[in-house]
Amino acid sequence: MAGPSKSLKPGKENSLKPSVLPEAPPYEHPPPYSARDPRKMAVRVQPTLELRWRMRDGSKEEALFATADIEPGTRLICETPVVAVTQTGETLGNVYSSFLTLSPSEQASIWDLKAGPAPPHLHAEAAFIDSLIRVYLDLYTKSQSQDLTPREQSVFDRLGPQLQHLCLAWRIAARFHLHRQCLLNIPLNQRYKIPPHVPLSGLFLTAARLTHSCMPNCFVAYNTQQNHVTVHATKAIKKGTLLTASIIGERIWYETAAARASLLRNAANIICLCEACGYDEKQFDADKRAAAKATFTMHEQQRRKLYLNIVYLSSTLTQMLCAANPFLMTCAGFMVHPDAYEAVEQKMAEDAQNDMEDANKKLIHTLQMLGMIGCADLEVVRWRNVQAAVLLDKLKKWNSAEESAMLALQITERCVGADGEEVAGLRGAVRSIDQKRRNQLMGLGQL
Ligand SMILES: [Zn+2]
């Protein structure tokens, strides 16, 4: 078990009161719709892409393709939402009324999007429309063979236009819900503080045309300060290549092909055709078939190992955090006789050192596997941050910590741009580690 960072000796400074737990800082949302002109943003957009129609699963859909060779880190898209709604008031009417305020070309662009399955929070409205359609059809059938009563005729006359309006609203909502983006960049446990009028999700007309892939070449991020969604190339992209992003977040890196297929079917009713999701067994060329099968098998194996690795890392890191917090330790039932404090403290410090060394090896392996399956987005940054700020920091390996923090910063800049919200914090982390390294060298008389 990992050891605590503070002394366990009894005393006033060690009083284990619940009040020692830090309070979450108050949530401050930026003014909504302070949209800035993309041309004036620090990172310029290089729209080296075009929209083309293509056939997929037997139906026609629009997709984005590179019109030139693209360098990693290139900002391809920067746009504001055309429709944005609040979660609490997110109904058919809200989306539809926003839709009606758009220009004819924007409306046409939304109609061209693929419609998705009904999201769970709109099931009640879908059932209501279904019941109205049944009543309307019953009345219509009756009217073909006999006269309707005056009351039935009145209901029939009113239901027609009402249903037309509701079905139109439903078809717009089916497109909005499949392609919308989250407009927040804050943890789930702080979202209850958001005022009810703040829009939580929005539709971006160009970014909505990205195709899903479990080996994506682009990264989509929303900047709450600037009310823009940005799309950056995470890899070198050849001219004519399909531009892709994940619609199931970081789960593409840890779930098997079968689990991803289920997630994608439920989320968007789509089948992913990327190399990690399968291969064509009817491929005529035996060499190509064998190579595709080997690629698919490698992706499956790496993702299974990755999943086990992150379960181990999450558990180990949680144990370390508990051990470093005296209050959490007493919650876990940790009891030490006062005479044995020093011996226990020393043993726990040794255990903690070993645990951190083991966790760091596991984390290096995790990063290698993420690299093998082509992950070059903020999921790498997440683990690099853990490595730099938690493990290498505690192990006092400042050179390695600085290297890891620098890599996290570079990957972040590539995914969200140098003006991205996350960048300032990461620059601060690099400076902080550099300062600790300098302090240590000065202590050793080497600087
Ligand atoms: Zn896939």
Given a cut of 90, is residue 39 above it in pLDDT? no
Instruction: Tell the residue number behind the tokens 């799309």, with chain if given.
Output: 231
User: Residues of the chain with pLDDT > 90: what percent?
Assistant: 43
Given a cut of 70, is residue 18 above it in pLDDT? no
CA of 214 to the centre of ligand 1 (A): 4
CA of 45 to the centre of ligand 1 (A): 28
Report pLDDT for 257: 96
CA of 207 to the centre of ligand 1 (A): 19
pLDDT for 377-418, tens place per residue? Answer: 999 999 999 899 888 888 888 889 999 999 999 999 999 999
CA of 299 to the centre of ligand 1 (A): 10
CA of 421 to the centre of ligand 1 (A): 29
Report pLDDT for 428: 92
Among 23-37, 65-79, 347-361, 405-419, which stretch is predicted with the lowest mean pLDDT?
23-37
Q: Are 319 and 2 in contact (CB under 8 A)?
A: yes
pLDDT for 114-167, tens place per residue? Answer: 888 777 777 888 888 999 999 999 999 999 999 999 999 999 999 989 998 888
Q: Are 67 and 48 in contact (CB under 8 A)?
A: yes
Mean pLDDT of the chain: 82
Mean pLDDT of 11-28: 40
What ranges do the domains of the chain cover? 38-255, 299-443
Q: Which residue has the higher pLDDT, 16 or 195?
A: 195
CA of 281 to the centre of ligand 1 (A): 16
Give residues with Cβ within 8 angstroms of 381, minimum separation 6.
Answer: 408, 411, 412, 415, 422, 426
CA of 317 to the centre of ligand 1 (A): 30
Q: What is the pTM of this model?
A: 0.80
pLDDT for 249-280, tens place per residue? Answer: 999 999 999 999 999 998 888 899 999 998 88
The greatest distance separating any two alpha carbons of the chain, rounded to the nearest whole angstrom, comes to 102
CA of 213 to the centre of ligand 1 (A): 5
Pairing relation of β-strands 49-56 and 59-66? antiparallel
CA of 275 to the centre of ligand 1 (A): 7
Q: Which fold has domain 38-255?
A: Beta-clip-like (2.170.270)
CA of 31 to the centre of ligand 1 (A): 37
